[in-house]
């Protein structure tokens, strides 16, 4: 094994150093992250379904690569979801 550590603290320290250095990996990540728009919603199931349909109609998957990135059912029965799409289409 190398001189670097696989412990969580070691990983965190290496990532922190890379961020400070602003190397090419960070630039690529920032560029990719900047292209995406993410919105998170928390609402009752039927409203969440309607909201997702409206967003897919406004930002079609073919043009904006729209997708439900993550979702869960909350303890109170509401749905929390994050929808991701490209900021602009060509």
Residue 8 tokens, joined: 């969580």
Which phi-psi region, left, alpha or beta, contains residue 77 (left: φ > 0; alpha: ψ -120 to 50)?
A: left
SS3 label, residue 69: strand
Domain that holds residue 17: 8-86
| Cα torsion 25, 31, 36, 39: sign | positive
Tens of pLDDT, residues 43-90: 999 999 999 999 999 999 988 999 999 999 999 999 999 999 998 754
Is 2 inside any structural domain?
no
Is 3 inside any structural domain?
no
Number of domains in the chain: 1
Tens of pLDDT, residues 19-49: 666 554 445 445 555 688 899 999 999 999 9
Which residues, including other chains, have CB under 8 Å from residue 59's CB and lie 6 or more apart? 66, 85
Beta strands, E only, 1-90: 36-43, 67-73, 79-86
pTM of the model: 0.60
Is 14 inside any structural domain?
yes
CATH classification at residue 23: 3.30.110
Is 46 inside any structural domain?
yes
């Amino acid at each position: 094994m190398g001189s670097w550590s696989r412990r969580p603290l070691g990983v965190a320290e290496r990532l922190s150093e890379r961020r400070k250095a602003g190397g090419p990996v960070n630039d690529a990540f920032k560029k990719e992250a900047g292209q995406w728009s993410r919105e998170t919603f928390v609402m009752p199931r039927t409203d969440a379904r309607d909201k997702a349909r409206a967003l897919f109609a406004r930002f079609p998957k073919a043009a904006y690569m729209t997708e439900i990135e993550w979702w869960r059912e909350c303890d109170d029965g509401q749905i929390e979801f994050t929808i991701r799409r490209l900021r602009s289409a060509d």
